């Protein structure tokens, strides 16, 4: 049964082309001068440079984490270039009309609405190309509602009070090796501020694209939802197919003040490497949010790309009655490795968290869920529910679950369940007996397996995510 599926499916990474554009890329290597150069290119104020240097000095003393269930040659941090920008973007942010059409075509080709009059007009997009933001749509409409949505490099100039107050407040510079590196060299990313009581009138989204070879992308996103505000934010990522591994080390910080609600969705489709495990992105990301009283932070992620993923979007449930959610689908195929999960840190009373994680491993890949649920002494009446399921496709892959549960409060309730199974012959037979071909059957079964997570995605993303799974699974049934 399986062989015939193998035969007529072949795997294809559809976002793997290269944009032919002239770039200014600084020479490889990392030292204080490089950081000064990045800061100077962005004409940053002195405090920002100091902040970066502080992070860099801390980073020098830190070690790369070893505890994740992934094996890869350590990147040579001196062989990477830390800044690359399309030449046309050298003179800083421009209005959308002035952006190099070749750049915009890159995003159009990826199916991203770059013109405000397009069908998906309900979504505002920030486009980040290597180290710079090339354009942001719907800025005026958002501004009218009081919402700030702009590249973070711009926010440093325009909203220094907000940036100074919140940057590093959730993920401190020294939080971990990659966060420290990011803090030192971050180039661009999105900044969002939703004022008190405002419900953001449209979905916000950022598309990250790594184009240049031998560069790392270090984006930084900061979202602040003021009291009683609400926002839904989407993030998408792609990169060309290249034989070398490339590094992507991002930091995302979310601040949900009292009664605010932030929904953060990711469809991560960085280049995963080829069928032999050559090339692909190292995706080492730190994402964390802090929820104040009655606030809610919800992370949804669909992770299908990257050669190695190391990522734990987390919630610090600081305020009483705050809520944290994590919905994840992580699919690995070929030689991909993923070690992903979440941390829910319950500090406040009656805080609640839900974790639904679905891992699918195929071929030679390795897929781990790693999570922490922590009930601090003050977490009276707090609750957590965790469900982790793994699906194995083929006998060469691995699926692992490492949930840490720490409780110091007798009134807190934690429930964790995990299962591992395979797409059963019975399920396949049933589908086929009813005339459904094997390819369709697997994709149906896998989609069903992921349903609880897809439900959480904004509509247009849910469809995309389903398709992405199908593509990623191609040739995986063996």
Q: Which residues contact 87 (CB under 8 A, 6 or more apart)?
A: 21, 22, 23, 24
The one among 409, 427, 432, 447 contacting other proteins by CB under 8 A: 409
Which residues within the stretch 290-319 sit at the binding site for other proteins (CB under 8 A)?
none
- Rounded to a whole number of angstroms, the minimum distance from the CB of residue 368 to other proteins is 9
Name which position in 390, 441, 462, 469 contacts other proteins (CB under 8 A). Answer: 390
**Does residue number 177 form part of the binding site for other proteins (CB under 8 A)?**
no
Q: How far is the CB of 369 from other proteins (least distance, A)?
A: 9
Which residues, 413 to 432, sit near other proteins by CB under 8 A? Answer: 413-422
- Give the nearest distance from C-beta 175 to other proteins in angstroms: 16
In the block, which residue shows the tokens 């007798």?
410
CB of 352 to other proteins, least distance (A): 15
Judged by CB, which is closer to other proteins: 25, or 376?
376
| 375 binds other proteins per the rule CB under 8 A | yes
Task: Name the segment binding other proteins (CB under 8 A); options: 117-125, 242-250, 271-279, 394-402.
Answer: 394-402
Q: How far is the CB of 42 from other proteins (least distance, A)?
A: 37
Q: Which is nearer to other proteins, 197 or 377 (CB)?
A: 377
Q: What minimum distance in Å lies between the beta carbon of 64 and other proteins?
A: 14
Nearer to other proteins among residue 105 and residue 422 (C-beta): 422
Select the residue interacting with other proteins from 70, 254, 360, 399 (CB under 8 A).
399
- To 5 degrees, how large is the angle CA 438–CA 440–CA 441? 60
User: Look-up: residue for tokens 């939703």?
Assistant: 194
Phi, psi of 25 (to 5 degrees): -120, 130
CB of 178 within 8 A of CB of 217? no
Strand partners, 345: 316, 374
* Per-residue mark of binding to other proteins, 130-159 (x: CB under 8 A): ------------------------------
174 binds other proteins (CB under 8 A): no
Rounded least distance, CB 71 to other proteins, Å: 14
Among 16, 201, 398, 458, binds other proteins (CB under 8 A): 398
Measured from the CB atom, is 345 or 375 closer to other proteins?
Answer: 375
Smallest distance from other proteins to CB 332, Å:
13
Q: Alpha-carbon torsion 237, 40, 26, 74, what sign?
A: negative
The pairing of strands 251-256 and 220-225 is: parallel
397 binding other proteins? (CB under 8 A): yes
Dihedral sign for Cα atoms in the order 149, 154, 156, 161: negative
Options 168, 324, 394, 475; binder of other proteins; rule CB under 8 A: 394
Of residues 23-52, which lie at the interface with other proteins (CB under 8 A)?
A: none
Which residues, numbered 50-89, are part of the site for other proteins (CB under 8 A)?
67
Residue closer to other proteins, measured from CB, 336 or 401: 401
Q: Is 451 in the site for other proteins (CB under 8 A)?
A: no
Secondary structure in 3-state letters for the chain: CHHHHHHHCCCCCCCCCCCCCCEEECCCCCCHHHHHHHHHHCCCCHHHHHHHHHHHHHHHCCCCCCCCCCCCCCCCCCCCECCEEEHHHCCCCCCHHHCCHHHHHHHHHCCCCCCCCCCCCCEEEEEEECCEEEEECCHHHHHHCCCEEEEHHHHHHHCHHHHHHHCCCCCCCCCCHHHHHHHHHCCCCEEEEECCCCECCCEEEEEEECCCCCEEECCEEEEEECCCCEEEEEEEEECCCCCCEEEECCEEEEEECCCCEEEEEEEECCCCCCCCCCCEEEEEEEEEEEECCCCEEEEEEEECCCCEEEECCEEEECCCCCEEEEEEEEEECCCCEEEECCEEEECCCCCEEEEEEEEEEECCCEEEEEEEEEECCCCCCCEEEEEEEEEEECCCCEEEEEEEEEECCCCCEEEEEEEEEECCHHHHHHHHHCCCCHHHHHHHHHHHHHHHHHCCCCHHHHHHHHHHHHHHHCCCCC
- Closest separation between CB of residue 403 and other proteins, Å? 6
**CB 292 → other proteins: shortest distance, Å?**
24
In the complex, least distance from residue 361 CB atom to other proteins, rounded to whole angstroms = 9
Residue from 93, 403, 466, 475 binding other proteins (CB under 8 A): 403
Total number of residues that touch other proteins (CB under 8 A):
34
Residue (25 or 420) nearer to other proteins, CB: 420
In the window 202-261, what residues touch other proteins (CB under 8 A)?
A: none
Shortest approach of other proteins to residue 176 CB, angstroms? 14
Q: Which is nearer to other proteins, 243 or 415 (CB)?
A: 415
State which residue, 103 or 362, has the beta carbon closest to other proteins.
Answer: 362
- What residue ranges bind other proteins (CB under 8 A)? 67, 375, 377, 390, 392-395, 397-422
């Amino acid at each position: 049964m399986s062989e015939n599926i193998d035969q007529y499916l072949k795997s294809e990474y559809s976002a793997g082309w290269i944009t032919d554009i002239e770039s200014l890329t600084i020479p490889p290597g990392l030292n204080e001068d490089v950081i000064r150069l990045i800061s100077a290119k962005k004409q940053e104020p002195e405090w920002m440079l100091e902040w970066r240097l502080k992070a860099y000095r801390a980073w020098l003393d830190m070690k790369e984490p070893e505890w994740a269930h992934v094996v890869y040659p350590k990147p040579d941090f001196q062989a990477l270039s830390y800044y690359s920008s399309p030449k046309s973007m050298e003179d800083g942010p421009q209005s959308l009309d002035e952006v190099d059409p070749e750049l915009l075509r890159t995003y159009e080709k990826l199916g991203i609405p770059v013109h405000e009059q397009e069908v998906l007009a309900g979504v505002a997009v920030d486009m980040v190309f290597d180290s710079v933001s090339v354009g942001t749509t719907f800025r005026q409409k958002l501004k009218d509602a009081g919402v700030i949505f702009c590249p973070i490099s711009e926010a440093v100039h325009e909203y220094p009070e907000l940036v100074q107050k919140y940057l590093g407040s959730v993920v401190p510079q020294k939080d971990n090796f990659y966060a420290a590196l990011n803090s030192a060299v971050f180039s661009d990313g999105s900044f969002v501020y939703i004022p008190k009581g405002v419900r953001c009138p449209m979905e916000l989204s950022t598309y990250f694209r790594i184009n240049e070879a031998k560069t790392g992308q270090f984006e930084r996103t900061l979202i602040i939802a003021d009291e009683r505000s609400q926002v839904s934010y989407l993030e998408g990522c792609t990169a060309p197919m290249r034989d070398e591994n490339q590094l992507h080390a991002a930091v995302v910080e979310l601040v949900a003040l009292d009664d605010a609600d932030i929904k953060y969705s990711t469809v991560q489709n960085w280049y995963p490497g080829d069928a032999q495990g050559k090339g692909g992105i190292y995706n080492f990301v730190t994402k964390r949010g802090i929820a104040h009283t009655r606030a809610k932070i919800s992370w949804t992620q669909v992770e299908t790309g990257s050669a190695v993923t190391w990522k734990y979007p987390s919630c610090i449930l600081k305020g009483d009655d705050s809520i944290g959610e994590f919905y994840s689908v992580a699919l690995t195929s070929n030689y991909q490795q993923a070690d992903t999960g979440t941390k829910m840190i319950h500090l406040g009373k009656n805080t609640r968290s839900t974790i639904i994680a679905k891992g699918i491993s195929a071929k030679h890949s390795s897929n781990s869920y790693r999570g922490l649920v922590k009930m601090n002494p003050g977490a009276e009446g707090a609750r957590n529910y965790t469900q982790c399921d793994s699906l194995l496709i083929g006998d060469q892959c691995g699926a692992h679950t490492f949930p840490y549960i720490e409780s110091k409060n007798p009134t807190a309730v934690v429930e964790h369940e995990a299962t591992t199974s395979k797409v059963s012959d019975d399920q396949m037979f049933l589908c086929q007996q009813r005339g459904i071909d094997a390819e369709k059957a697997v994709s149906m079964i896998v989609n069903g397996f992921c349903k609880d997570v897809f439900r959480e995605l904004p509509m247009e993303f849910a469809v995309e995510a389903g398709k992405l799974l199908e593509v990623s699974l191609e040739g995986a049934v063996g």
